[in-house]
Amino acid sequence: MNTDISNWENIRVVAFDFFDTLVHRNCHPEIVLYNWAKKLSVFIDYSVEPSVLYSLRKQQEGVNRKKINCEETSYEVLIQSIYDNISSLVKPNITFEQFYAKSFEIECLLEHEATYVNKDILPLIHKAINDKKRIIVISDFYCGQMLIESILLETELSCIFDKIFVSSDCGVRKSTGKLYKYVLDQLNITSKELLMIGDNKHSDVQVPKQLGISTLYVPYSNKNKIYDKVSLKKQLKKIMFSNLKESPFNGYLSTILYFISSLYEELVKKHVKNVLFCSREGQLMKELFDIYQNSTCVGIKINTHYFYVSRRSTLMPSLDKLENEKFIRIFRQFKQLNLKDFLYTIGFDHDGCDMVIQETGCSGTDIVKDLSEHSVLQTIIKNQKFGELYERIRLEQKRNFKEYIKSIDANLFEEGLVMVDVGWKGTIQDNIQAALDYSIPVYGYYLGLKIDDQINCITENKKGLLFSNVPCEVKNYRILTKDYMLYERIFVANHGPVLGYEKHIDNRITPIISDENSELELYEFIKEFQRNFVSGFQEAIQIFEKSKWNANELYHQMITLILWQDCVIFPKLWSYEKNVRAKSRENFGDISKNKIKSKNKLSSEHLKKIKFLFVDYSYRIPQKMHMKFLFPLSKVYCILVYIINYILIKQ
């Protein structure tokens, strides 16, 4: 940088602009304010959404100037006006003093993280020092001198500047020239004795020149991006749909990101300290949630735990003494099971199943329906050896399960259990609640709830964050549940199902996990797609970090993206979906159907989707019939369906 400055001998004071001159930000300046709003929103338990808080701040900056007839208000006045506007929404125990302190703390933290010294300006500073010039800072900035001083203290520029003049402290700005007049008056110097160095052509060059002040222009362009709704959606679409071959399931990123963002907000509102992600779908879910917690979208971190549970492993601990047990949680899901499936589901191993069948004279294929007098279930219940084995396994698994929970975190029994799962009825939650004898509350957060029989199903303390039909259907429920089973397959884990809990000689409790290779076929097929899904998730978060919104604030955007996925993209992924469906296995209830090959035919269940205009089947018919000439027509049809549904959801 050229340090030859005309009239240098007559200069007594050298003034530097602060941001984009002395220091640069590693992001767009607005991102600091976006993150301030997001973190402060967490502090007030999301009683005001981040985008609303940000917009209110920008609005109040202008309102305050007019109200008190000044060019720039102090930081305290700005935060006071924001607090006054939202005080009725914020919980009563948060005073203005606490709100202001937290706001300033966040502001300082973010500015410290974002700024670094502009090395190119150092020769000018050294020249001014060597020539015995006074060095000051003149800055238009919403925070006062105190914040700038704290940033400088952590750099090699500490203790160099005699004075720091900031618009928010002085009530006047450089851009009008009044701050320069204020500085000249305070330092008791003439305009010809001051040199202003900065990057802003108007505020740092043109305005001071009009006042007779010498200037040096040091141009800088911050090329970091920010996103509005249009550009954000465009970037998300690119991440989701640009590489269907390697990332066929990335089209579901918008719904998953919406879910993860909503989950974090819900946990913050409830002041949850520990959250349990249920295996197996919870493995990837936890990974995504942890990634989200490491982003700038959050303010506090919640402890996450991987929770080795399954419907099968939690059922036996939840069962009552045989004379009281009616197996309601099985029969509300399955009207009937064969005997072998029933015994395996309640927790008997293969040897136990064979023993019961041999002792009772029943067949493994006999149908178990209910507890009527002459039913198969009555037959086995009356068998002494079945009763003895049932009670031994039940009590052992109940003790072991409680010990397993304690091994995760001893505080869980005081705090209550907060669990997260993909969905759909919350059977595991019901089992856990019964296994703990209803002594502590168990809360469940789900991607979705799809409870068909609400009479026999517990809905208390359950919340579907993406979709739910309890107590009534959320809007766009049909769209959001169209391919709901695919979420289970996307979230497949790298281990088999949990069968129960084992106590070792050293008193350790560990989950018993099935090691059958067939349970891992789906994971082996999908694991690379999962990695690409995680990468896409990280990219999507980075987009939101450069916007004023959290993902769950943009519901309409999420719903239109999943609509595009289901109408236009899903038909192209039929072969992938068919593969994951074929490789998925049932390990609870109707297990025998794993041996039955499903026939890919249109059924009555498919016909129920007619309101969605059969969009996925428009591709299947031409493919099955080898009528390639109809493919272009199918594509046009899919886009037409999207347009129709898009219009409907807007209405």
pLDDT digits (tens, 9 = 90+) for 204-215: 999 999 999 999
DSSP H or E run through 200: none
* pTM of the predicted model over 0.95: no
Q: Provide the pLDDT for residue 14.
A: 95
Q: Is pLDDT above 80 for 453? A: no
pLDDT 10s digits, 146-202: 899 999 988 888 889 999 999 988 889 998 999 999 999 999 999 999 999 999 999
What are the tens digits of pLDDT across the range 230-281? 999 999 999 999 999 999 999 999 999 999 999 999 999 999 999 999 999 9
Orientation of helix 555-564 relative to helix 229-241, angle to 10°? 30
pLDDT score of 602: 46
Q: How many distinct helices (H) and strands (E) make up the chain? A: 28, 16
Is the pLDDT score of 616 beyond 70? no
Give the mean model confidence (pLDDT) for residues 516-526.
85
Q: Which residues make beta-bridge pairs with 276?
A: 305, 419
Our measurement of the distance from residue 36's CA atom to the centroid of its chain's CA atoms, rounded to an integer in Å, reads: 18
Per-residue model confidence (pLDDT) at position 614: 61
Who's near 131: CB < 8 A, 6+ residues apart? 8
Query: Binning pLDDT at 50, 70 and 90, where does residue 434 land?
Result: very high
Determine which of 110-124, 461-475, 637-651 has the lowest per-residue pLDDT on average: 637-651
Write the pLDDT tens digit of every residue in 525-561.
999 999 999 999 999 999 999 999 999 999 999 999 9
Quick one: pLDDT band at residue 92, thresholds 50, 70, 90?
Answer: confident
Share of the chain above pLDDT 90, in %: 60
- Provide the residue type at 210 as one letter: Q
| Per-residue pLDDT tens over the stretch 10-44 | 899 999 999 999 999 999 999 999 999 999 999 99
Residue 617, pLDDT score:
59
Edge-to-edge, what's the strand order for the sheet holding 214-217? Answer: 163-166, 134-139, 13-16, 194-198, 214-217
- Pick from 555, 644, 486, 588: which is nearest to 258 by CA? 555
Task: Report which of 287, 238, 284, 249 is spatially closest to residue 532, judged by C-alpha positions.
Answer: 249
SS3 465: strand
Cα 354 to Cα 409: distance, rounded to the nearest angstrom = 38
- Does 56 have pLDDT greater than 50? yes
Q: Is the pLDDT of residue 509 over 60?
A: yes
Residue 648 confidence class, pLDDT cut points 50, 70, 90: confident
Please name every residue paired with 14 in a beta bridge, in sequence order, or none if there are none: 135, 195
Residue 438 has pLDDT above 80, yes or no: yes
Q: Mean pLDDT throughout 585-592?
A: 67
Of 428-442, 562-576, 586-600, 635-649, where does mean pLDDT reach its minimum? 586-600
More confident residue, 343 or 371: 343
CB 3 within 8 A of CB 131: no
Listing from the earlier edge strand, what are the strands of the sheet with 274-278? 303-307, 274-278, 417-421, 442-449, 462-468
In the predicted model, what is the mean pLDDT of residues 44-50? 95
Q: Is residue 649 over pLDDT 90?
A: no
Average per-residue pLDDT for the chain: 88
